[in-house]
Structure 1
Amino acid sequence: MLSVGLTGGIGAGKSEVARLFASYGAVLVDSDRIAREVVAPGTEGLAAVVAEFGPEVLAADGSLDRPALGAIVFADEDRRKALNAIVHPLVGRRSAELRQHAAPSAIVVNDVPLLTENGLAAAYDLVVVVDAAPDTQLDRLVRLRGMSEDDARARMAAQATREQRLAVADLVIDNDGPLEALEPQVRAAWRTLAERAGGC
């Protein structure tokens, strides 16, 4: 099994790259999706978040009010660390369970937004970084996701720098251009991963 860490800054296009890898046959372990699952209503994760941050982070239906929580943690590094201390172990445990079910010949792509920030590069056989210039990230977050510029900048500032991400990369996929320029690069990266998996 080849274990690949996939990361990139917010707005860089990592999710689209993950989707393409999955379409080629990768086993995708999506940390963002798992992070939502572990704080779903009725979970120990949600109970712990409410105990830490108070009932104001709950929506009327009892689910996590992500914008309310985001407003707290993206403005205060200590609060963000407190949230990560709750969520990250739960995500790690669930991710490990998913990897255990993969076939020995599988290419497992671990979609990990905070791979660089949490010093996880050494946990994978290869690290793929989806790269885009900060101005491109900002434009996508404001124009495509509807964020305010201040919110987008705060979220970008909470992540590793472009240089820090590139420093841990074994493969870099440049997503500074249009979407149609992305697929050929991802397919080429997939061929490299397949070759590496064949040699494992």
Structure 2
Amino acid sequence: MVVGLTGGIGSGKTTVAKMFASYRNVVVYYADIEAKKLMTSSETIKRNLIDQFGKETYLNKELNRPYLANIVFKDPSKLKILNGIVHPEVYKHLNNFIAKNKDKSYILYENAILFENKSDTFCDKIITVTAPLKTRIDRVINRDGTTKNAVKNRITNQWNDNLKTLQSHYVIHNVNLEDTEQQVFKIHNILTNTLY
């Protein structure tokens, strides 16, 4: 079983994913981390990104993240092109990961843009992590040392929480860590048919 885990930037979905990962019978696929690795290691992705965004996309064989982010987060059409290049390679990688982990109770597929890039179609169940907007903005500013406007630009490129929660099987409100752990515990028990 593949369980999608999503949530807007700063919602704390990675923190929630780590809570699920603490269970022995669960394995987590972090789409963003794997995509970043593939953007450096996949020759197909590199070639296509350079074709679309220019030689400046890579500096010393490393992805020039600030350069690329500056282009795609200001222009939704450019973001769509980027996703169209990266996501097919991530899906191949994910399918291999699923095949290797068939013995687990479920695979948690953590993806910030699960609905936006139609990755929800891979999932048997979906969990959305939410948090108040101010909390999310503060978390990202503290984590990335970025500006409020930069965070807001990224938020506008993602679906809003209402759209996500309407299409989710479970919703975790991530404000207080202790409460969040309880919510994770309950959902894990439901997914593994364990009584608590």
TM-score, normalised on structure 1?
0.90
Report Cα offsets for 1:35-71 as digits up to 9, x if no partner: 0121115632122211210111223x22001111011
Question: Which amino acid is 1:126 matched to?
Answer: K
Report Cα offsets for 1:104-140 as digits up to 9, x if no partner: 4531111121112123334311101111122221111
Q: Classify the secondary structure of the residue corresponding to 1:38.
A: helix
Question: Which amino acid is 1:37 matched to?
Answer: K
Would the aligned equivalents of 2:105 and 2:192 in 1 still touch at CA under 8 Å? no
Q: Tell me the equivalent position of 2:37.
A: 37
- Gap change, CA 1:105 and 1:149, over 3 Å in 2: closer
Question: Among residues 187, 193, 196, which one is paired with 2:191 in the alignment?
Answer: 193
| Aligned: 1:184 with 2:182 | yes
Hey, what's the Cα distance between the residues in 1 that align with 2:40 and 2:27? 23
CA-atom RMSD in angstroms:
1.6
Hey, what's the Cα distance between the residues in 2 that align with 1:120 and 1:93? 12
Hey, what's the Cα distance between the residues in 2 that align with 1:186 and 1:68? 37
TM superposition shift of 1:181:
3.0
Would the aligned equivalents of 2:126 and 2:169 in 1 still touch at CA under 8 Å? yes
Question: Which amino acid is 2:186 matched to?
Answer: A
Hey, what's the Cα distance between the residues in 2 that align with 1:105 and 1:161? 31
Report the identity percentage. Answer: 31
- Gap change, CA 1:84 and 1:122, over 3 Å in 2: closer
Equivalent residues in 2 for 1:125-140, closer than 5 Å: 125-140=124-139
Runs of 4+ in structure 1 displaced over 6 angstroms? none
Equivalent residues in 2 for 1:109-120, closer than 5 Å: 109-120=108-119
Q: Classify the secondary structure of the residue corresponding to 2:134.
A: helix
Hey, what's the Cα distance between the residues in 2 that align with 1:35 and 1:121? 17
Q: Classify the secondary structure of the residue corresponding to 2:62.
A: coil
Would the aligned equivalents of 1:31 and 1:111 in 2 still touch at CA under 8 Å? yes
Hey, what's the Cα distance between the residues in 1 that align with 2:32 and 2:104? 25
Gaps of 5+ in 1: none
Hey, what's the Cα distance between the residues in 1 that align with 2:9 and 2:157? 10
Hey, what's the Cα distance between the residues in 2 that align with 1:41 and 1:119? 24
Question: Which amino acid is 2:146 matched to?
Answer: M
Gaps of 5+ in 2: none
Equivalent pairs, count: 193
TM superposition shift of 1:8:
0.5
